[in-house]
Structure 1
Amino acid sequence: MTLFGRTLDGTEIASLVSLLLVLVLWIGAWRGERDWTRWFRTWEADRKARRDAERAAENGGDGPAAPGAPRGPWS
């Protein structure tokens, strides 16, 4: 086989094939990580929206909590 004017033997062809397979593997892993990150950000935003709605309902729907009201994960 000739590639760019260079004759390749069996080991060089096997190396090229394995390099391409590793590239495909990395692209697949990257896509999976990207999809998981996108899902997690959406889930977290939805969870925050639900929590904000629950807090608004607890406060009687009068907007944000009073300045002296407890805030944060400990409340």
Structure 2
Amino acid sequence: MTLEPQQIFQLVGLLAVLALFSFSLRDKISYGRWFKRWEADRKARRDAELAAEARERGEGDKTGPWG
């Protein structure tokens, strides 16, 4: 079986699109992981700030379902 130049070009193009898609998907997954980590860190910092402000106001640590 021999491949014509047009078929070879189509195969190369298909492989190039597949490579582009895989790199794009990898970057998207990486960004998603980074964003989740950033959000968790931001929430932790905000919770720590709120706890520090509560301690400054003299409010004790409120735990339990009724505060």
Report the TM-score, using the length of structure 1 for normalisation.
0.73
Moved over 2 A (4+): 61-65
Flag the 1:37–1:64 CA change in 2: closer, same or farther, 3 A.
Answer: farther
- Aligned-pair distance for 1:62? 2.9
* Unmatched tracts of structure 1, length 5 or more: 1-5, 69-75
Unaligned runs of 5+ in 2: none
Q: Say if 2:14 is the partner of 1:19.
A: yes
Q: Which has the higher helix share?
A: 2
State, as a whole percentage, how many aligned pairs show the same letter.
48
Of the two structures, which has the highest relative contact order with CA contacts closer than 8 Å and spacing of 6 or more? 2
* Greater fraction strand: 1
State TM-score, norm by structure 2.
0.81
Indicate which of 53, 60, 63 corresponds to 1:62. 60
How far the C-alpha of 1:64 sits from its partner, in A, is 4.1
